[in-house]
């Protein structure tokens, strides 16, 4: 079990909702696809390599930290007794190559070199760790997880792990038998407490309540083609089923995610769900799961 689990970032959830209920531009759609693909790669890495780690090691997923006014992000950090290992997971697809120390896609266009990003990140992280009293070694790797990734002309000394090496990476990590102590757990807790939740790198498009499409859609595939039968909603696209209560609660969660400042009232939820459910049904769900403040039409739920 990871010491800090990996959760789907809010920016992906927001973009998914906007993609279904709004109009993402082609550029925003590509950004959304890129974010999703990156996250899927990280989840795949977890499944193959760190879940669960059968040795003494604290797995901290998805850290966004700041040192000397510079942000840096680490997909996976593992604290062992005498080493901290960092992994930057990439879900690239296609063919790439190195030439004279630069990183190119096969069509000859230069791309941001993951190793340069990694080096920059390690430099900041090392300074932060030393400031916290850590004196061990730090090892960092770029990990490619996509089986359709190929890299040519790469010196074998580069700290890169390929898809064919993931199983042996898992075995190597699990060989680490040195016992951790409270100091390591305190270091892990400290790093997690320094994690920045709202990433300055996340680019959310502008949106507003009125212009987004209303109505219940499928919680799995986002389709708005839904059939209601005996208080169960069934998606006509993927077959996913959900109770009315669960659909209303999910709708409330969507409003809270997209509009954190908005007060949750019966009318707001009624409108968001497209007027499909009576206000009486919505009020009952709100009363059951939230605390009411105020009365009558000024009543809102927290
Ligand atoms: Zn569906």
Lowest mean pLDDT across 53-67, 179-193, 206-220, 286-300? 286-300
Token digits for 281?
A: 């049904």
Residue range 276-289: mean pLDDT, rounded: 94
CB 67 within 8 A of CB 8: no
| Å from CA of 224 to ligand 1 middle | 8
Question: pLDDT tens, 81-116?
Answer: 989 999 999 999 999 999 999 999 999 999 999 999
Q: What is the mean pLDDT of residues 77-81?
A: 96
Q: In the predicted model, what is the mean pLDDT of residues 181-186?
A: 95
CA 210 to ligand 1 center in whole angstroms: 24
H helix intervals, 144-231? 166-174, 182-194
* Per-residue pLDDT tens over the stretch 12-28: 999 999 999 988 999 99
Query: What's the mean pLDDT in 120-124?
Result: 95
257 CA distance to ligand 1 centroid (A)? 21
Ligand 1: centre distance to CA 236 (Å): 7
Quick check: 37 pLDDT over 90?
A: yes
Ligand 1 midpoint to CA 225 (Å): 8
87 Cα to the center of ligand 1, angstroms: 34
Task: Measure the CA angle with vertex 272, ends 202 and 256; round to 5°.
Answer: 40
Q: Ligand 1 mean position to 20 CA, how many Å?
A: 12
Average pLDDT over residues 54-67: 94
What pLDDT, on the 0 to 100 scale, is given for residue 97?
97
How far, in Å, is the centroid of ligand 1 from the Cα of 238? 4
| Residue ranges of domains in the chain | 10-194, 226-301
Stated pTM of the model = 0.89
- Tokens 């040192």 belong to 67
- Please tell me the distance between residue 239's alpha carbon and the centre of ligand 1 in angstroms: 6
Distance 241 CA to ligand 1 centre (A): 8
Mean pLDDT of the chain: 94
pLDDT at 265 over 80: yes
Query: DSSP readout, 89-117?
Result: EE---EEEEEETTEEEETTS-B---HHHH
Alpha carbon of 253 to ligand 1 centroid (Å): 18
**Has residue 9 got a pLDDT over 90?**
yes
DSSP label of 228: E
The C-alpha atoms of residue 161 and residue 172 are separated, in whole angstroms, by 13
pLDDT class of 38 with cuts at 50, 70, 90: very high
* Beta strands at 232-235 and 241-243: parallel, antiparallel or unpaired: antiparallel
Q: If you measure from the C-alpha of residue 240 to the centroid of ligand 1, how many angstroms do you get, rounded to a whole number?
A: 5
| Alpha-carbon separation of residue 15 from 24, 26, 33, 201, 255 (angstroms) | 8, 13, 9, 14, 13
Does residue 297 carry a pLDDT above 80? no
- Coil, strand or helix at 28: helix
Name which residue leads in pLDDT, 201 or 65.
65
Distance 254 CA to ligand 1 centre (A): 17
pLDDT at residue 2, rounded to an integer:
92
CA of 15 to the centre of ligand 1 (A): 17
């Amino acid at each position: 079990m990871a010491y800090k689990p990996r959760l789907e970032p809010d920016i992906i959830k927001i973009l998914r909702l906007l993609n279904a209920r709004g109009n993402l531009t082609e550029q925003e759609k590509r950004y959304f696809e890129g974010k999703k693909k990156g996250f899927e790669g990280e989840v795949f890495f977890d499944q193959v390599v760190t879940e669960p780690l059968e040795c003494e090691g604290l797995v901290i997923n998805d850290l966004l930290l700041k040192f000397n006014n510079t942000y840096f992000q680490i997909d996976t950090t593992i604290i062992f007794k005498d080493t901290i290992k960092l992994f930057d997971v990439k879900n690239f697809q296609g063919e790439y190559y190195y030439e004279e120390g630069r990183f190119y896609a096969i069509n000859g266009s230069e791309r941001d070199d993951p190793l340069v990003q990694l080096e920059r990140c390690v430099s900041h992280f090392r300074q932060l760790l030393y400031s916290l009293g850590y004196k061990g070694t730090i090892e960092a790797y770029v990990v490619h997880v996509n089986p359709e990734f190929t890299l040519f002309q790469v010196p074998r000394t580069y700290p890169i792990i390929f898809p064919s090496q993931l199983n042996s990476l898992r075995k190597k990590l699990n060989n680490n038998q040195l016992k951790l102590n409270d100091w390591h757990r305190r270091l892990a807790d400290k790093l997690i407490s320094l994690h920045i939740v709202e990433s300055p790198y996340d680019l959310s498009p502008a949106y507003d309540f009125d212009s987004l499409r209303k109505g219940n859609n499928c919680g799995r595939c986002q389709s708005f083609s839904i059939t209601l039968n005996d208080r169960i909603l069934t998606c006509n696209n993927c077959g996913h089923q959900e109770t009315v209560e669960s659909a209303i609660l999910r709708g409330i969660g969507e409003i809270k995610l997209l509009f954190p400042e908005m007060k949750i009232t019966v009318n707001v939820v009624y409108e968001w769900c497209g007027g499909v459910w009576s206000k009486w049904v919505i009020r009952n769900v709100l009363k059951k799961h939230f605390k009411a403040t105020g009365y009558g039409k000024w009543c809102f739920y927290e």
